[in-house]
Structures are given as C-alpha cells and as structure tokens.
A and B are shown apart, each in its own frame.
Chain A
Amino acid sequence: MSNKKRFSLLLVCMMALVMVLGACSTTKTNPSGGSAESNTAAQLDQIKQRGKLIVGVKYDTKLFGLKDPGSGKVEGFDVDMAHALAKSILGDESKVELKEVTSKTRIPMLNNGDVDMVIATMTITDARKKEVDFSDVYFQAGQSLLVKKGSPIQGIEDVTADTTILAAKGATSIDNIEEKVPGVKVLEFDNYQDAFNALKAGQGEALTTDDAILYGMAAQDPNYEVVGKPFTDEPYGIAVKKGQTGLVEAINKGLTDMKADGSYDELYKKWIGKAPESK
C-alpha cells in the first residue's frame, strides 16, 4: 500500500518538475542588441581613423577560415577577402585584425562593436537582414552532393527514393533534399565530420550540405568529390552593423573592383580549385 502511495507521490513530483521547467522556458531574452543609431558613415570613419580593419572570421572552417594549429595563422577565402578589402578601403592589405566568430557569436559581436564586419560563410537571409546589413554576394554557395569517386550518383537527378543521404542536423539542407526527392532516406548526424565518417564507412551514398563545406571535405580526402550543379542558392554576404550604409558601399565597391580586375577569380581559384561558375 505505502509503496503505491509513494509511487504516486513520485509521479506528482515529476509533474511539478515538468511544470516548473516549462515555466522557465517562457523567460526568453530578446536577442536584438542595442542599436546606437548614428550617422551612416560613422563606422567607416572610425575604421579610417584607426587605420585598421577588425574582421570577424571563422577559425574552424576549411577553405574559408581555418586556424593552422602549427603556425597559428588563420587562412582561407574569407581571410584573403578581408585583406583585399583592407587594401581597397585603407590602401594597405596588411591592416587587418582578425577575430574569431562562430555562427552563434557573429551577430552579437557585430552589434557590440567588437568587429567592424563579419566575413564568415554567412548566408544572406531575410531573417538576418532584420539584424544586420549585408554587402553584395561575395560567394555564391549552393547545396550540393559529395560522393565517393566513381559513384553512380553524379548529381541530384541520380538521387532516388532508394538512395541513403547523409546530412548534419539542422533543418534547411534536409528539408531541401526531401523537397527535391520525396521519400529519400536521410540520416542525420551531429556535425559534418560525423556525417563524413559515415560516408567513408559506406553507411550512405552521398552527403549533402553547402558545396563550400563539401569542397573542404573533398580537399581532406581525395577519394571523394563534389558532383552535379548546386540545387539551391546560398548567397554568402559580408555583414556589418545595421545602418552603416557607408561601410556597405565601401565593401561593395571593393567587391566590384575585385571582380573587374580578375583578383576575385584568382582568389576563388586559389581556394576552391576552379573558376567560379557564372549563373
């Protein structure tokens, strides 16, 4: 008897705990940081006065911003882009200070003024446009497929409902492929490295995410290659603090000049290994 009573008491306690936890979830914080609206060229003037560009880049993304554990140097497409912009804005490509950002920290750091701009494989989306301002597209990525060399899959059109696709957790790339190929079997992993290991162990036929990340994996292991044309658009933009149109214009001018004089294509070729496809 007392045992039964104790059991129901336990259940009641559980329920109470659940309710308390549930209540906690309502205390959400508003992520939009304080925006010190001033004149639209303030940041650009500040950069010129300081004589140095402070840029947030990723330190863990192969080909775009990766810290070499040996030399301590951060290298990649985004880093070279930062140097090119320093040349365009300040006239000296060495006047760059890099700061590490992650997908989580890049918008808060921008809003706090810790960095002037963020060049960190950041896709331009409507939701993000509410938080920050974006430059023109500096890298046109798109969702693609990574397969073992010699695979019968040579593009999205070869993927059928019987194909096993590997992906990293997170909604968009999975939603995209399920939309393209209804009924396709998708296995989700914690991160890209785990998904790549599963591909190497033959647990699926293809891995899908942004081609920019896939190229990094293909560079890691030459037995794998990126196949087919990208089947979504993931335009990467350079983010600056909201309202700093002066800086956005300066960045866009730099980008236009780079595309005009061929240094953009050179940069692209240096990291991605081929010329950018014109779309």
Chain B
Amino acid sequence: MLDFSILIEYFPDYMEGFLNTIQASLIALVGSFILGTIIAVFRITGIKPLQWLGTAYVEFIRNIPILIVVLFFYLGLPSLGARLDGFQAGTLGLTVYTSAFIAEAIRAGILSVPKGQMEAARSSGMSYIQSMLHVILPQAIKLVIPPLSNQFINLIKNSSVLTIVAGLDLMYFADSINGDSYATVSTYIFTGMFYLILTLPMSYGSHVLERRLAKSS
C-alpha cells in the first residue's frame, strides 16, 4: 500500500517544493499571458516588421524543447554576463516557452471574431487600439478560454522543468525525497497528488468560466 509515513516525514520538503511550484507557476502564468498577448497583437497588426518579429518569436520558441530554453537561461546567460539562479532561470524559461503557445491561442481567437466587428468599431469613431480593447478582445477572450486553460495546465506541469536547473520546485524535492527514502512509488504518487491540487481546480474553474461567459453573451 501507499506509505503515508513518507508524506508525514517529508511534509516540510513537499510543502517547500509545492509553494515554490505555485510561485513559479503564478509568475509564469501572468508573465506568459501578457507576453503572449503582445506577441499575438504583433502578429495581426498588419505592420510588417512587427508581424515578422512575432512570427519568428513564436516559430522559434515553440519548436524547441522547453528543456533547452531553460538550460539556455541557466547555463548560457552567465557567458553573456548575467547569472540567474535555478528558480529565476526556470521561471523565465517557463514564461517564454508558454508565451509562444498563448500567443497562438490568442491570435486564433482574435482572427475568429468576424471582420465586420472591427470595421463597425472603427467606423463609429474608435481608434485601432480602442476597437481592439473594447470590441475585439472581449469577444476573443471567450473563444480563447478553452485553449488558454489547456496552456495554463501544461504550464503547471511543465514547471517540473525547474528540477533540472535545481530550481527547488516540487519535482526537485520529490527526487530528493526519493533519494533519501528509496520509497519511489509512494514518493511520486504523493507528488502527483500535489500537482493535481493545482491542476484540477484549474480545469474545473475554466469550465465554470466558459459556461458563465457563454450565458452572458
């Protein structure tokens, strides 16, 4: 059976990792949402250099493994003169990596708002930015919630990448607990449950939000 003494004995370690994982996920969630939205807008502005920049960013970042992105920030940056510790490098890598996927989700959402909406907003006197903020984005958000919540759930799970740069996240402590206790199965089952505590409410919340927004329209 599951060895609950592992959970009790190593609870402080689990908690430290759990809190660090929450912190890294929250920072990366907010950061990647902002960065992703900016990149998405770049890609649809119609201003060529911005479009190219956005496309290059998305295609470059989303087509390499997150492991390499994180290792670059951890091992590569010091040779350029900036040193980030494991937590910072891991969280930054997570933010950058996820932002590419979020940019794509948001871009798809914006594009699926009928063109007439923008034309109507512009002809009633709004600027491009105003029409974007008040007419297009509010409609796009609804369409974007399911893919976005997918990305955020992935983000929480991907935060385990911090382990390879000793980022003191939940998975890092799980490996450490395993090395100490040799109770591999129990150690990782409890670890999985801690991740579920974060990801299940996320899925559930997105369903509720989706339904509520569908009603309000």
- A residues engaging B (CB < 8 A)? 3, 7, 10-11, 14, 18-19, 21-26, 166, 169-171, 174, 187-190, 194, 197-198, 200-203
- Contact A197–B75 (Cβ < 8 Å): yes
Q: A22-B185, A25-B186, A194-B164 are in contact. Are A203 and B1 (CB under 8 A)?
A: no
- Contact B176–A169 (Cβ < 8 Å): yes
- Contact A201–B78 (Cβ < 8 Å): yes
- Contact A190–B164 (Cβ < 8 Å): yes
- Please, how many angstroms separate the alpha-carbon atoms of A18 and B78 in the complex? 42
Q: With A171-B179, A203-B166 given, name 20 new contacts (CB 8 A).
A: A3-B207, A11-B200, A22-B1, A22-B185, A24-B185, A25-B2, A25-B3, A25-B185, A26-B1, A166-B166, A188-B166, A188-B176, A189-B166, A194-B164, A197-B75, A198-B165, A201-B76, A203-B78, A203-B83, A203-B86
- Please, how many angstroms separate the alpha-carbon atoms of A21 and B180 in the complex? 21
- Please, how many angstroms separate the alpha-carbon atoms of A170 and B175 in the complex? 9
- Please, how many angstroms separate the alpha-carbon atoms of A22 and B163 in the complex? 25
Task: Tell me the nearest residue of chain B to A23, going by C-beta.
Answer: B1
- Contact B78–A14 (Cβ < 8 Å): no
- The answer to whether the Cβ of B204 comes within 8 Å of any Cβ in the partner chain is yes
| Secondary structure type dominating chain A contacts | helix
- Contact B186–A22 (Cβ < 8 Å): yes
- The answer to whether the Cβ of B172 comes within 8 Å of any Cβ in the partner chain is yes
| Secondary structure type dominating chain B contacts | helix
- The answer to whether the Cβ of B56 comes within 8 Å of any Cβ in the partner chain is no
Return chain A residues, CB-CB under 8 Å to B207: 3
- Contact B1–A171 (Cβ < 8 Å): no
- The answer to whether the Cβ of B18 comes within 8 Å of any Cβ in the partner chain is no
- The answer to whether the Cβ of B189 comes within 8 Å of any Cβ in the partner chain is yes
- Please, how many angstroms separate the alpha-carbon atoms of A203 and B70 in the complex? 14
- The answer to whether the Cβ of B85 comes within 8 Å of any Cβ in the partner chain is yes
Q: Scoring B residues 133 to 150 as 1 if CB is less than 8 Å from chain A, else 0, what string do you get?
A: 000000000000000000
- Please, how many angstroms separate the alpha-carbon atoms of A19 and B2 in the complex? 7
- Please, how many angstroms separate the alpha-carbon atoms of A181 and B166 in the complex? 20
Could you jot down 26 A-B contacts, CB within 8 Å?
A3-B208, A7-B204, A10-B200, A14-B196, A18-B2, A22-B185, A22-B189, A24-B185, A25-B2, A25-B185, A25-B186, A166-B166, A169-B176, A171-B179, A171-B180, A189-B166, A190-B164, A200-B75, A201-B74, A201-B75, A201-B76, A201-B78, A201-B79, A202-B83, A203-B75, A203-B83
